[in-house]
Amino acid sequence: MPIFLDTGNIDEIEKFMKMGIIRGVTTNPTILVKSSVTGGMDGVKQRAIEIAKLIDPYPLSVEVTNNDPDGMINQAREFSQWANNINIKITIHGPDGELDNLEAVHKLENEYNIRINVTAMMSAQQCFLASLAGATFVSLFGGRVNNMGYNCIDEIQKIRLLIDNFDLKSKIIIGSTREVLNVVEWLAAGAHIVTVTPHLLEGMIIHPYSKETVQQFLDDAKKI
């Protein structure tokens, strides 16, 4: 399942599902705001259920909206009931470095059998610990890593080697994708999944020389 679409826009999801080229959808509060979701948690629930139904059986990631330990667990349990193919995003730690999150991840995966996507990670070491905690998905923000002056390919290769060597179940998601080049480059480096925006996915399909060639074929066809 190499490509997940990073959006909350129903029309965009439907368009690429019809092409058969996406294998899941990821959202977070920022994405939902950009996708014009309103109405508080009722609005989030309605949009999540709509997306989950549209992409079933592929997974949809929905993120918890607070960092309180009990709140994360309660929201995760609630959100996971909206559809069978919903998994829950939880950040690697809190905004001030609070360490409750991995305990919540471990509990949700092992006691409640809820699939967790640990997100907002910037290093292989964070991904490795989230994987040890039992996360189904570990999300490294590749574009942000590169913006910090490091090449995220090194981190991808390290975490893939650790997951394979220690026979861990986690699938590696690389997000924060900034360039069309990133997608194939990061998959080739060992990522299981790369998240892309609709704009980047269109950029993967459309090539100026392909447009030129198609136009030549059409022009020559008229001469036959």
**pLDDT tens sequence across 128-177:** 999 999 999 999 999 999 999 999 999 999 999 999 999 999 999 999 99
- Which residue of the set 15, 45, 89, 211 is catalytic? 89
Q: In which residue are the tokens 């998240």 written?
A: 195
**Whether the Cβ atoms of residue 146 and residue 181 lie closer than 8 Å to each other:** no
The CATH number that domain 3-223 falls under is 3.20.20.70
DSSP 8-state symbol, 136:
S
- What was the pLDDT predicted at 1? 72
* Alpha carbon separation from 29 to 123, 185, 207 (Å, rounded): 22, 28, 32
Q: Is the pLDDT assigned to residue 32 strictly greater than 90?
A: no
pLDDT in tens, 92-125: 999 999 999 999 999 999 999 999 999 999 999 9
Question: Catalytic: 34?
Answer: no
Distance CA 132, CA 127 (A): 9
pLDDT in tens, 10-19: 999 999 999 9
Alpha helical stretches, state H, 91-207: 101-110, 124-132, 142-147, 152-165, 180-189, 198-205
**Cβ count within 10 A of residue 101:** 22
- What was the pLDDT predicted at 47? 94
Q: Give the mean pLDDT of the chain.
A: 96
**Domain ranges across the chain:** 3-223
- What was the pLDDT predicted at 137? 98
**Whether the Cβ atoms of residue 106 and residue 79 lie closer than 8 Å to each other:** no
**Whether the Cβ atoms of residue 96 and residue 67 lie closer than 8 Å to each other:** no
Q: In which residue are the tokens 């092992």 written?
A: 110
- What was the pLDDT predicted at 29? 81
The amino acid at 96:
D
pLDDT in tens, 177-188: 999 999 999 999
